[in-house]
Amino acid sequence: MKKFVITIITILVLCAGLGYGSHELTKSTGDSGSKVLNLYNWGDYIDPTLLTKFQKETGYHVNVETFDSNEAMYTKIKQGGTSYDLTVPSDYMVQKMKADHMLIPLDKSKLTGMQNYGSSFMNKSFDPGNRYSIPYFWGTLGIIYNDQDVKPGSLEHWNQLWRPRYKDGIMLIDSARDIMGFSLISLGKSVNTTKTANLLAARNKLNRLSPNVKAVVADEIKMYMAEGEAPVAVDWSGEASEMMSQNSHLHYVVPTEGSNMWFDNLVIPKTAKHFKAIYAFLNFMNKPENAAQNAKYIGYSTPNNQALKLLPKSVRNDKQFYPPQKVLDRLQVYRNLSPTKVQQYNDLYLEFKMHH
C-alpha cells in the first residue's frame, strides 16, 4: 500500500509478539489441510470485524502479519521461510513479482463476484486480464489545500503550485516517484518516462519549486496539515481523507490534466498452501456488502462498483475521492521500471531535496 505506514503502537505490538507470531504462522502453514488463511497485509488495512465474520461463516481462521512497504513485503516473500496465502502489493510490485515468478495465477473458475468491479479498475497495464490480481483499493495523488489560506477553485492544476503566493507554503510527501511524477505531468510527460532529458527537465522544474516548499516529509504530513502548519500539500488521496476527517478546512483536488492512479491488489504468492481458504476469502471480499464495510473502515476508494452503491451518498458522490470518468481517463498507473531507471529517478529526486 503505497500509502500506509504502520503506527508506533502497531510496531510495538509486532515487536513484542514477533517470536510467537512467527512460530504460529509457520506452524499453521505446515498443514495444507488446516483451517487457516495466512494474510500478509499492510498495517490496519482490513476491518477486523470482517475477519471475525469470515471465520464464523467459513470456519477458516485468518492469521494476519503486516508490512510497511512493498519492498519489505517483496524481500520477505522472496527470501522464503514463511508461507503466506495472500498478500497485497501495489500496482508496480504486482508487475515485478509476476516477472520474478513469485505469483500463482488466479483460477477464475473458483471466483465469484468479479463482475462487481468497475471496468476502469480492471485490465490495467501491470496485470493485463487480471490474471494474477484482484483490485483491493485504489486512489490518486493530488493537492490538499486549506480554505483558510487558499480560495476554493484557485488551486486545481499542478503548474499553479509554482505561483509565488505559495512561497514557503507547500508540504510534499517524501516519495521520489510521486514528486518526480507530478513535475513530469506538469511538463506534459509520462510518469513512466525513461528518457533522461525528460527526467532532467522534471528535476530542474522541481528545483524552481524549492522556494515554495516548506518541507518534504513522510507520514507526519497528515498531522502537520491537520494542525494547519501549511496551506498546501501534495499527497495521496488516502492520507488526504485522514487529514480532512481531522480538519474541515482541508480539501483535496486531482488536477484535471492528470495524475497517478494507484492500486493495491490481492494476489496469491508462490508459497501459498491453503487454496480452499484463499478462494473462500477472495469471494467473501468480492461481496458488495463486505467490500463496502471495508471501505467505510479504511476510508479509501473501493473498485467494487456494487459496494460503492452501498456507501453513503455523501461518499459515493464525493468527486475528491471518486472523480468523474473524464478525470479517470487522464490518470496514469506506474509501471515497474528497470533498476537503473529507478535509481535515476531516486538520484534526481535526491538532488532536488538537497537543492531545497
Cell output for 41: 497485509
pLDDT averaged over the chain? 90
Alpha carbons 139 and 301: distance in angstroms, whole number: 6
- Angle, CA of 159, 124 and 93, to the nearest 5°: 85
- What is the architecture, at CATH level 2, of domain 139-260+324-354? 3-Layer(aba) Sandwich (3.40)
State the span(s) of the chain assigned CATH 3.40.190.10: 33-138+262-316, 139-260+324-354
pLDDT at position 356 is 73
Residue 233: helix, strand or coil by DSSP? Answer: strand
Q: Classify domain 33-138+262-316 at the CATH superfamily level.
A: Periplasmic binding protein-like II (3.40.190.10)
Alpha carbons 197 and 113: distance in angstroms, whole number: 45
- List the chain residues with pLDDT less than 50: 3-32
pLDDT at position 42 is 93
The set of residues, in sequence order, having a beta carbon less than 8 Å from that of 46 and lying 6+ positions away, is 39, 64, 294, 297, 298
Contacts 24+ apart (CB under 8 A), 286-291: 286/111, 286/112, 286/113, 286/114, 286/116, 286/134, 287/113, 288/113, 288/116, 290/50, 290/53, 291/116
b/e burial code for range 195-210 (CB count within 10 A of at least 16 → b)? eeebbebbbebbbebe
pLDDT at position 30 is 41
Q: Which residues pair with 62 in a beta bridge?
A: 37
Cell output for 8: 508506533
pTM of the model: 0.83
Task: Judge whether 66 and 41 are in contact, CB under 8 Å.
Answer: yes
